């Protein structure tokens, strides 16, 4: 490899890193707006929000580490900008996993079926994180029984999850979105 090819390769890598950093920043800002400002709280245990969408999109486009960083930054910066209670590190872990899971599924899976990858990603996030992990965190914070919190959260996430899926899946009709994967 000659020096001009090496320089070109280095420029491409630097350009991709810059694009990913800008994308992550935009997705963090969008997630904060959707979660902290455009959400509906029902009681103290149910939030109707589409704040996961930008985190999942970031994970799909930038990979598991980019998704993880998007999730962490969304929670921490969102907490600083508009706290809705005290800081609890469990939710930061949840947001990190919301970014990590789709990143791993999209980047590690040999299956090229985007529909299946996205379905597995959304179902994993909703079942493992929204319903199990986040309900456990809420149990610790507000002191209600896990099973008492679960029914309302199941209804809320059953409404939100298909909408999340449809919105994210609709991005795949754009060629630029598909070529970044």
The CATH class for the domain spanning 11-179 reads mainly alpha
User: Residue 47's beta-bridge partner residues?
Assistant: 41
Of the CA atoms within 13 Å of residue 71, those in its CB half-sphere come to: 30
Q: What is the DSSP string of 72-129?
A: HHHHHHHHHHS-SSS--HHHHHHHHHHHHHHHHHHHH-----HHHHHHHHHHHIIIII
Q: How far apart are CA 48 and CA 155, in angstroms?
A: 11
Asked if residue 72 has pLDDT above 80, the reply is yes
Asked if residue 42 has pLDDT above 70, the reply is yes
Question: What does pTM read for this prediction?
Answer: 0.91
Q: What is the rounded average pLDDT of the residues 154-160?
A: 97
Q: What is the pLDDT of residue 12?
A: 76
Q: What is the rounded average pLDDT of the residues 67-96?
A: 95
Q: What is the pLDDT of residue 121?
A: 98
Nearest-5° angle of CA 89, CA 38, CA 77? 35
Q: What is the pLDDT of residue 181?
A: 63
CB 55 within 8 A of CB 98: yes
131 secondary structure, DSSP code: I
* Other beta carbons less than 10 A from residue 81's beta carbon: 12
Asked if residue 6 has pLDDT above 80, the reply is no
Q: What is the pLDDT of residue 15?
A: 78
Q: How far apart are CA 56 and CA 135, in angstroms?
A: 20
pLDDT tens for 11-22 read: 777 778 999 999
Percentage of the residues of the chain whose pLDDT score is greater than 70? 97
Asked if residue 125 has pLDDT above 70, the reply is yes
Asked if residue 1 has pLDDT above 70, the reply is no
């Amino acid at each position: 490899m000659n020096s001009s090819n090496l320089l070109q390769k280095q420029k491409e890598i630097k350009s991709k890193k810059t694009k990913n950093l800008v994308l992550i920043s935009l997705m963090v800002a969008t997630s904060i707006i959707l979660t902290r400002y455009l959400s509906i709280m029902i009681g103290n245990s149910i939030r109707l929000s589409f704040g996961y969408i930008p985190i999942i999109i970031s994970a799909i486009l930038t990979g598991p580490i980019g998704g993880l960083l998007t999730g962490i930054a969304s929670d921490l910066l969102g907490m600083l900008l508009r706290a809705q209670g005290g800081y609890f590190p469990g939710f930061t872990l949840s947001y990190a996993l919301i970014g990590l899971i789709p990143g791993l599924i999209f980047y590690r899976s040999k299956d090229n079926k985007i529909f299946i990858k996205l379905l597995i990603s959304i179902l994993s996030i909703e079942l493992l994180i929204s319903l199990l992990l986040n309900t456990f965190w809420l149990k610790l914070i507000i002191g209600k029984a896990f099973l008492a919190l679960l029914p309302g959260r199941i209804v809320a996430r059953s409404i939100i999850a298909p909408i999340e899926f449809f919105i994210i899946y609709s991005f795949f009709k754009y060629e630029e979105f598909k070529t970044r994967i």
